[in-house]
Structure 1
Amino acid sequence: MEKKKYLLFIPLTLSMLMVATLIILNADQNKNVFIHRGEILINKLYLEIEDGDTVVYRGDYIRFLGVDTPEIRNPDVGIYEDQPYGREAEEFTRREIMKAKTVTFIPTGVDRYGRTLAHLFVDGYPLSLKIVEAGYGYETVSSFGDNGFPDIAEKILNAAKLHRDLPFENPWYWRKKHQIKKH
């Protein structure tokens, strides 16, 4: 009877050691990974890049929190010309998503246009933060708050300080001048 108890104890101990080893080995690799509950894994086969700050996943539009990128032509929303650097921002987003091993998102709500508002993560790193760090978008944390992600918001604000003079107009102002609203 004692031997059976001992035999049951061995697999449990080995499993715990394996988990502890994996945690220790991954600790250094994940310094820049943001871990949040409620992340939804994206299958990239069903993902389309709409522009620099919006993707379409399985028919649902997902608008990234924390960033606003230059616009690209989209007559459906009254934009009939590309904003300077719009295509570059779109291509940056496409590259970051396509080279990522994992893409996840955390939805926080829906905007007035019916788009899901979310943080999208590429290999655990917030894509909005990558966009601001690369100088392809203006931060929106100052206008809309941290949306429940104070750690990401702070990093976005800090990254924006490095790119105060972007080579394109703030997309919000650009839309005011160029977007033709449908009545």
Structure 2
Amino acid sequence: MRPRAAMPIVLASTSLCLGLGLAASPGGSPQEPPRVQGKVEQKPQARPHGAPVVVDPATVRIDDGDTVVIRWGEGDEETVRILGIDTPETRHEEHSIPYDQSFGPEGRAFAQGAFAVASDVKLIRAAMLDPYGRTLGYLILDGKNYSVLVIKAGLSDETVSFYGDNGLPAMAAEVKSAAKGRPPLAFEPPHAFRKRMRSVSDWQKSPHPNPAR
């Protein structure tokens, strides 16, 4: 997911600046967000937050393992960067991710399956948007924290330890507990992969001399 690009309910601006990248996401790493006096500009969440909001499962579109898009109505779509997790990236050339990361497609497939079988979906939003204007929140599927499910499946890094609980301590604690004692992840940390892919993308877009004949 983007920068899936990361990344909070009550997070300091500086924490958000460090790279909710997340985040990916739409997934991947979006364009550099606007800055105010050297800091990433964050905005408060205008939609209801802090309490569960019922979501029709049919309106959820999966971008990657940690980013979904909810269609509330005509012309009203909400991109949600799911809190507590950072799954392997999928290809998003528009966000300088020219290749899938190992286990990225598997992470997306896991999300697609989890949401496809869920009959009861709820969204709990954080109080602030991420630096790219996406909603930050947890998604609860049939009473289970999706972030916990993907952590237990070995398809996500845990990000609460770095970004804090975003003002949602109970769900953040579930994520940290799920990550304890698990085997090492089978993939490169997504934030490191995003950084490498940006360099690759920059090289691909730069002019190159014709090879010697």
TM-score, normalised via structure 1 length = 0.75
Deviation sequence 1:97-132 (CA, Å, 0-9, x none): 111111110111211111100111101211011111
Tell me if 1:66 matches 2:84: yes
Unaligned 5+ runs, structure 1: 1-35
Contact 2:53 / 2:122 at 8 angstroms: preserved in 1?
yes
Shift of 1:164: 4.1
SS in 2 for 1:110: coil
- Computing the radius of gyration over CA atoms, which structure comes out larger, 1 or 2? 1
Tell me if 1:113 matches 2:132: yes
Equivalence for 2:118: 100
RMSD: 1.8
Paired with 1:155 and 1:106, the residues of 2 have a C-alpha distance of 14
Equivalence for 1:125: 144
Tell me if 1:47 matches 2:66: no
Shift of 1:158: 2.1
Paired with 1:154 and 1:164, the residues of 2 have a C-alpha distance of 19
Count residues with an aligned counterpart. Answer: 147
SS in 1 for 2:133: coil
Equivalence for 2:194: 175
Identity %: 39
Tell me if 1:154 matches 2:167: no
With 172-181 and 97-106 compared, the bigger mean Cα shift is at: 172-181
SS in 1 for 2:63: strand
Paired with 1:166 and 1:47, the residues of 2 have a C-alpha distance of 27
Paired with 1:107 and 1:155, the residues of 2 have a C-alpha distance of 16
Moved over 4 A (4+): none
Larger proportion of helix: 1
Deviation sequence 1:123-148 (CA, Å, 0-9, x none): 12110111111111000001110112
Contact 2:57 / 2:118 at 8 angstroms: preserved in 1?
no
1:56 aligned to which of 50, 57, 69: 69
Call closer, same or farther: CA 1:164–1:149 in 2, change over 3 Å: farther
